[in-house]
Amino acid sequence: MIEEKLSPNAKEVLKTRYLLKDGKGDLVEDFEGMFRRVAKFVASGIDKNNNAINSEFKDDVEEMFYKMMINLDFLPNSPTLMNAGTSLGNLSACFVLPVEDSMEGIFDSLKYAALVNKSGGGTGFSFSSLRPSNDSVSSTGGVASGPVSFMKVFDSATEIIKQGGRRRGANMGILRIDHPDIKEFILAKQEEDSLNNFNLSVGITEEFMSTLEEGGDYPLYNPRNGEIVGYHSAKEIFNIIVEGAHKNGEPGVVFIDAINQQNTLPGLGLIEATNPCGEQPLFPYESCNLGSLNLSNFVREGEFDFKRLKEVAKSAVLFLDTVIDVNKYPLPEIEHMTKQNRKIGLGVMGWADALVKLGIRYGSEESFSLARTVMKTIKDTADECSKYLGFVLNSFPNLKLSTFKNERRNATLTTIAPTGSISLIAGCSSGIEPLFSVSYKRNVMGTSFDEFHPIFEEKLIEADCDLELIRSQLSEKNLDEVEGIPSDIKDLFVTSHDINYKEHIQMQASFQAYTDNAVSKTINLPNSATIEDVKDAYFMAYKLGCKGLTVYRDGSRSLQVLEKPKKEKQSPQEIAEERLNKRVRPETTYGSTTRSLIGCGKLYITVNKDDYGMCEVFCSNGRGGGCHSQSEATSRLISLAMRSGVPIKQIIGQLRGIKCSAFLRKKDLVGTSCPDVIGRVIESQLEDTSIVESEEKVKVACPDCGEFVDFSEGCVVCRACGYSKCS
Residues 517-563 have pLDDT tens digits of 999 999 999 888 999 999 999 999 999 999 999 999 887 765 433 23
Same domain, residue pair 464 and 603? no
| N- to C-terminal Cα separation, the chain | 29
Catalytic residue status for 29: no
75 & 37 share domain: yes
**Catalytic residue (choose from 77, 94, 277, 327):** 277
| CATH code, domain with 128 | 3.20.70.20
What does each C-alpha distance from 332 to 41, 112, 115, 458 come to in angstroms?
A: 21, 11, 12, 51
Quote the pLDDT of residue 600: 79
**Angle CA(701)–CA(702)–CA(707) in degrees, nearest 5?**
70
Judge if 101 and 78 occupy the same domain: no
Answer yes or no: is 660 within a domain. Answer: yes
Q: Are residues 60 and 103 in the same domain?
A: no
Q: Last residue of some domain: 274, 301, 325?
A: 274
The catalytic residue among 197, 275, 294, 524 is 275
What pLDDT sits at residue 596?
86
Does residue 608 lie in a domain region? yes
Residue range 394-414, pLDDT digits in tens: 999 999 999 999 999 999 999
208 and 297 in a single domain? The answer is no
Q: What is the DSSP code string of 416-455?
A: B---HHHHHHHTS--TT--BS-SEEEEEETTEEEEEE-HH
Tell whether 269 and 141 lie within a shared domain.
yes
Residue 569: phi, psi to the nearest 5?
Answer: -55, 135
- Does residue 627 have an active-site annotation? no
Q: For residue 131, what is the DSSP state?
A: P
Domain-embedded: residue 159: yes
- Separation between Cα atoms, residue 163 and residue 573, nearest integer Å: 23
Boundary of a domain, candidates 274, 305, 340? 274
What pLDDT does residue 391 have?
96
SS3 content of the chain, % helix, strand, coil (to 5): 40, 20, 40
Q: Which of 272, 279, 503, 616 is catalytic?
A: 279
Please give the sequence-ordered ranges of beta strands (E in DSSP) within 445-584, or none if there are none: 447-452, 522-525, 548-553
Q: pLDDT under 50 in the chain at which residues?
A: 163-166, 444-445, 559-570, 575-576, 578-581, 688-698
pTM equals 0.81
Q: In what order do the strands lie in the sheet with 601-610?
A: 590-598, 601-610, 613-621
The answer to whether residue 156 is domain-embedded is yes
User: What's the pLDDT score for residue 625?
Assistant: 59
The confidence score (pLDDT) of residue 164 equals 39
Catalytic-residue membership of 277: yes
Looking at the fold, whether 79 and 7 belong to one and the same domain comes out as yes
Same domain, 207 and 137: yes
- Whether residue 663 lies inside any domain: the answer is yes
Cα–Cα dist 169/154, whole Å: 11
Q: Is residue 637 part of a domain?
A: yes
* Residues 235, 104 share a domain: yes
Whether 697 is covered by a domain: the verdict is: no
CATH code of the domain containing 674: 3.30.390
Quickly list DSSP for 652-681.
HHHHTT---HHHHTSSS-SSSSHHHHHHHH
Alpha carbon distance 595, 127 (integer Å): 44
Half-sphere exposure of 593 (CA within 13 A, CB side): 8
**Parent domain of 138:** 94-274
Q: What is the pLDDT of residue 254?
A: 98
| 464 plus 594 within the same structural domain | no
Give residue 221's identity as a one-letter amino acid code. Answer: Y
Whole-angstrom Cα distance, residue 314 to residue 13? 29
Q: How many structural domains is the chain composed of?
A: 4
| Residues 123 and 248 placed together within one structural domain of the fold | yes
Question: Is 531 inside a domain boundary?
Answer: no
Return the exposure string of 46-66: e unless at least 16 CB atoms fall within 10 Å of the residue's CB, then b. Answer: beeeeeebeeebeeebbebbb
The answer to whether residues 119 and 247 belong to one domain is yes
The helix (run of H) or strand (run of E) holding residue 595 is strand 590-598
**pLDDT value at position 167?**
52
Amino acid at 185: F
Q: Of 248, 274, 300, which residue is a domain's last? A: 274
Residue 565: per-residue pLDDT: 39
